[in-house]
Amino acid sequence: MLLTIVAFIVALGLLIAVHEYGHYRVAVACGVKVLRFSVGFGKPILRWQRKGSPTEFVIGAFPLGGFVRMLDEREAPVAPEERHLAFNTQPLRARAAIVAAGPVANLLLAVLLYAAVNWSGVEEPKALLASPVADSIAQQAGLRGGELVVGAALGEQDFEPVRSFEDLRWTLTRGALDGDSVRLQLQPERGQTLRELVLPLEKIEAREADAQLFRKIGIVSPWTRPVLGELMAGGAAERAGLHPGDLVQRVGASEVVDGGQLRELIRASGHSGQAPAQLWRIERDGRPLELTVQPDVVQEASGSVGRIGAYVGAMPEMVNVRYGPVEGLWKGGERTWEVSVLTLRMMGRMVIGEASIKNLSGPLTIADYAGRSAAMGLTQYLAFLALISVSLGVLNLLPLPVLDGGHLMYYLWEGLTGRSVSDAWMERLQRGGVVVLLLMMSIALFNDLTRLFG
């Protein structure tokens, strides 16, 4: 719990500080007088001011936002000799640059964070495929399990190398949410050429990037040996006499070739609401054994499934994914662009009802993932920060009046018509923007509570 709180506060503080620093740095560069730079709201818990600087730096008690207060005639009277330092007197291009600098700073931070992950390297599962889910798109396309994916491409794009299972999952996610097919290059058997295979993911009506999406695709996990790990006391596995380290070779009439297939067989046994007893053939310490196993039945959102109360499948084969200085930075920029485009597309699809509003996440989910990623190590935490930084940058560029994108919308109008938005219209738009933003925040908070406590 403490790690989650600390990781959440550090994440928010860093991302907000970078966002506001973008506004601050460009404002100073444009000759605007900055009165206060604040990370957080409420009562200041720390404040300081550099000698000779007009800016007061503040850390507030509530780290859920921040602001940069500039000299502005619309907020308070400005002395004639300082009028040229006021924000509202600056040329249109300067005002637009100052407003855009916050979201741009978040996107640049994401590039650097993704690059840092690429440079440091991360251990990820090898893109060796487990047996596909029965009747899934992957099985219908001809995958059987055990194939090594070495390249992938969206639609008719060129193939990109697949270095890990996470690379493959990202490509599949983009293909499913974009309604596009994914072409795979599979490592050939000895003496053969590269084999290509097409997954027609446009057949899936993907509304959420969740576990059910990958079950529809059929590629859920990397290949693992079908061995049993830790057993739960009193579970079906312990009752049947199974031991940790048992290698499962057959369940009923089905030959077992990998851990993913074994998990699917166990889950499928409970679909009728009552799991039948199954004859399992296993190997223990080099000796074959046959045991009768009757899985327990539990209820999930998708229906009744079987469980045996044991960790199923060995750890997958891992690879270290690391890039050089230039390639790592380039890949960081590519990933930032891809996540930004995917985020915008998902938001657009939610507006027109083609994607579920369950994709919206709020502070509780962010805090939960902050704690989980921090527990997994620095590299995973940096990747999490990069993702949230992209989301913050993209969100602030939306054309909502209370966000940076709304102000840019005003400046676009001013640039096209030669006159600024009237005060009356400004007030109406601000009110409408607040309503939309509060609605989005309410939905996100509801989704948080549903995920965490539902």
Q: Which of 20, 124, 147, 264 is catalytic?
A: 20
Q: Residue 28 and residue 18: Cα distance in Å, rounded?
A: 15
Cβ atoms of 232 and 136 within 8 Å: the answer is no
Q: Residue 196 and residue 70: Cα distance in Å, rounded?
A: 58
The sign of the CA dihedral 372, 373, 376, 377 is: negative
Q: Residue 61 and residue 70: Cα distance in Å, rounded?
A: 21
Which two tokens mark 147? Answer: 């194939």
Per the rule left: phi > 0, alpha: psi between -120 and 50, beta: everything else, 174 is alpha
Q: Residue 84 and residue 80: Cα distance in Å, rounded?
A: 8
What residue has token string 């054309």? 399
Report the relative pairing of strands 303-307 and 254-255 from DSSP bridges.
unpaired
Which two tokens mark 277? Answer: 């007893």
290 is known as an active-site residue: no
Q: Residue 151 and residue 441: Cα distance in Å, rounded?
A: 39
Cβ atoms of 41 and 418 within 8 Å: the answer is no
Catalytic sites, residue numbers: 20
